[in-house]
Amino acid sequence: MTLSEKNTITECINKIKGAKSIKIGRAADLVWIAMKGIDGKDYALHMQTFFRFCNIEEVLITDMDKYQPISPMTETENFNWDVKGNNLFDKWCDDFNKNFSDNIVIKSIEINNFGDLKIKFSNSITLNVFVDTTSNDECWRFFVWHGKERHLVITGRGIQCREDNVSE
């Protein structure tokens, strides 16, 4: 990743520093985080890559937990992970959204030379998002929800494109 790309990413993503009303969820295997920026705009981060939420003591939840049943008694061979509320990730999101969503703020954001993203929240939770490919496949994207601004799309090759937002 070039210094120019890293600076572009940093400039775009820093718009969510201080963001509140943070909600986390998923649509199939795409994980989303919605938040209200201090500028009043609604922002979204979409992830289709490896990530983890952790605190200073432990890993709280990861991308792979979407594929884990809530109950260890569930037969994993017949487990339908895509049913909403059926997996560990969905349960964690429900708990997070009920208990923390309105009480936390994004304190800091870091980008490394590979496009990995680190977001620190005010409740000592950190989100690490990893670029997990060397291809042009999308890893994560950041955009204004329902806005006309272009999307910031990060791939294994850097900023692949800044797509126009599709009108809904």
Whole-angstrom distance, CA of residue 6 vs CA of residue 12: 10
pLDDT at residue number 34: 96
pTM: 0.88
pLDDT at residue number 158: 87
Residue 30 has pLDDT above 90, yes or no: yes
94-128 per-position pLDDT tens digit: 999 998 888 899 999 999 999 999 999 998 999 99
Average pLDDT, the chain: 89
pLDDT at residue number 74: 62
Residues 6+ apart with CB under 8 A from 104: 20, 22, 121, 122, 123, 125
With residue 159 as reference, give the H or E element that holds it: strand 158-161
pLDDT at residue number 166: 43
Residues 6+ apart with CB under 8 A from 37: 15, 16, 18, 19, 43
Q: Which has the closest alpha carbon to 27: 82, 68, 86?
A: 82
Domain residue extents for the chain: 3-161
Q: For residues 52 and 82, which has the higher predicted lDDT (pLDDT)?
A: 52
151-165 per-position pLDDT tens digit: 999 999 888 765 544
How buried is residue 114: exposed, middle or buried, by Cβ count under 10 Å (0-12/13-18/19+)? middle
pLDDT at residue number 75: 66
Please report, as a single letter, which amino acid is at residue 19: A
What SS3 class is residue 118?
Answer: strand
Q: Determine the average pLDDT of the residues in 11-31.
A: 92
Residue 167 has pLDDT above 60, yes or no: no
Q: Determine the average pLDDT of the residues in 129-158.
A: 91
pLDDT > 90 fraction of the chain, expressed in percent and rounded = 64
Whole-angstrom distance, CA of residue 84 vs CA of residue 145: 22
Return the minimum-mean-pLDDT range out of 60-64, 71-75, 133-137, 158-162: 71-75
